[in-house]
Structure 1
Amino acid sequence: MSILNQAKEEFNRSPIATISSGVGVLIAGTSLFIAWFSFHSESSATYPSVNNFISEGGMNVRNLLLIVAYFLAITFLTARIIRFVARKHSLAAFFTSVIAISLTNFSTVLMIYLAPPRAFSQSTFTSAHDLIFYGSGIIVLIFCGKAVLIDLLRNDDKDKEPNIMGGLFMALILLFTWGGFVWSGQTKLTNTLLPEITHPIPINQSSSGKSGSEINKSSSQNE
């Protein structure tokens, strides 16, 4: 069956979801274009004050709504595509989802850089990385988690009951493996293609920095 026929079959099966996916493409594309145009028209020499009207502690509501709209549209669209691929090839869907969600999360970080809702620092970008990662993971689980869990619990031998604990254990291993791959792809894309301010701070570096600041604070108090 050709891709065109598969697309027609998917549209006949769930027209509302298919139309919503198309709308998601338009929203994501429009949001990215607006962010790119805003970045070029309002950018200054240094970051994080990309938008000159974002004062210290200020908030740009337009950019915030733009980022949220882009993230939801592109992530729901990607999850929909993954679910479509999983109906035909479950193993291919796993690897496709890793690549697709990594790119989706990276593009959301790019959106935040192009149209920041507030003045950002590297620690703030680290928090944004976490929010994007967990948010996209939850959306993918909502769309694809049930089918994967049913497949893991399925038993070909009808005389035996499904091993629920074993299936849940395998699902957790699969989830952590998938999450590790996605996080690695998301951070490596960011570290390679975007400025240093967008790079997530490693956990060991963050904890050591915190310990150093606490030591300095205590020593200053003793003085």
Structure 2
Amino acid sequence: MTDKQITPDLLLRAYAMGLFPMAKAADDPELHWVDPRKRGILPLDGFHISRTLRREILRGDYQITADRDFAGVVAGCADRETTWINAPIMALYGALHRIGHAHSLEMWDGDALIGGVYGVSLGGGFFAESMFSRRRSASKIVLAWLVHRLRAGGFVLCDTQFLTPHLATLGGVEISRAAYHARLEAALKGQASFHPAGYQPSCGAIISSSSAGGGGNSS
């Protein structure tokens, strides 16, 4: 399916059905709908912070912002040797961002964007699309801040599409398609906000709300 056949409204309806689009490569103009047999999710009450990551978060030598540079985060996620993010993907999610259904978290070192994650919000579900890191542990730090924000905003589902070893170290799990669709249906009945009123988290708050203190020194 070409990008001209997909509108922001159609994209949101696809997410509500458990589908998401991907391209085979950055230079492939076609988009393909995906509904994996096994789905990766990041349980919002089971995010794991290792002792190493705890130290990285508490160091605080960075700034986290929300929706400050959505296009920059998408571009950062696409800036790799192999990517499924093509020009139509960038345009479609940019359109979703403009109507309030796509969001980003950015990690900064001064004026340099060093990490980020973006995704789609719908009802009580957040559908994390991609993340990138230009500094050690940046993507893990951003995910810790994302999970805290989602919980504060009333989200009940964080979909990661697939489970990677990276996500597994943070508490990510894989569930069946049927189990995912049941969770999705429940999440869509709720309402959540990516910008909850009065939300001003600190590094300490990010740590205290997670399953930190658990074993290992893995980063």
The answer, yes or no, to whether TM exceeds 0.5 is no
Larger RCO: Structure 1 or Structure 2 (Cα < 8 Å, ≥ 6 residues apart)?
A: 2
TM bucket by the smaller chain?
under 0.3
Task: Give the greater-gyration-radius structure (CA).
Answer: 1
**TM-score, scaled to structure 2:** 0.26
Bigger fraction of residues in strand? 2
Bigger fraction of residues in helix? 1
